[in-house]
A and B are shown apart, each in its own frame.
Chain A
């Protein structure tokens, strides 16, 4: 019985699969300005966030300015 309880206790403490550390405090929040950056794309061309935002929207030449969906992912593909 003690052994079974012990095992259950361990299970309860084990993190769920995929569990991440506590949410970061410094990540941009709604209403904040997204920090600008420049990084290489898969053609080794430098892409700058502020330039993307200022440029024409893909498939919508008439609209000034582009929205950007930033997707951070874990990688190690």
Chain B
């Protein structure tokens, strides 16, 4: 989460909005992100409807409580998943740097670079 925050300006420059989702209630999340200085969007899925819809439920994953398993998806403006990153170990996560690399590979550039031809 922190490494994505550190690259959030660069990610946003490319027209990408970062949206984080967990089981934490709205108030808990608000307090935490204010304290941590996170500025992207955080959504609260207490009933785990979306987490289940994405098949990311980690039953009893934290002290007997159901939580989301970590995962990242890059969705294009048509709603199509263009990159998905699921991990088998929650200590191994996509870092902000990796997200930027993926955006490079997909040709998602900042507006100033839009005239640059991408060689494939």
Which residues of A does B touch, CB under 8 Å?
16-37, 39-44, 47, 49-50, 52-54, 57-60, 62-77
Contacts and interface: CB of A to CB of B under 8 A. Distances in A.
Interface majority SS (helix, strand, loop, mixed), chain B = mixed
Nearest to B44: A40
Given A19-B88, A70-B73, A75-B23, A34 B81 contact: yes
A32 to B, nearest CB: 5
A52 B17 contact: yes
A27 B55 contact: yes
A22 B56 CA distance: 11
Contact of B26 (A40, A60, A64): A40
Given A19-B89, A30-B82, A74-B90, A59 B41 contact: no
Interface in B53-101: 53-59, 61-63, 65, 67-84, 86-92, 99
A27 B80 contact: no
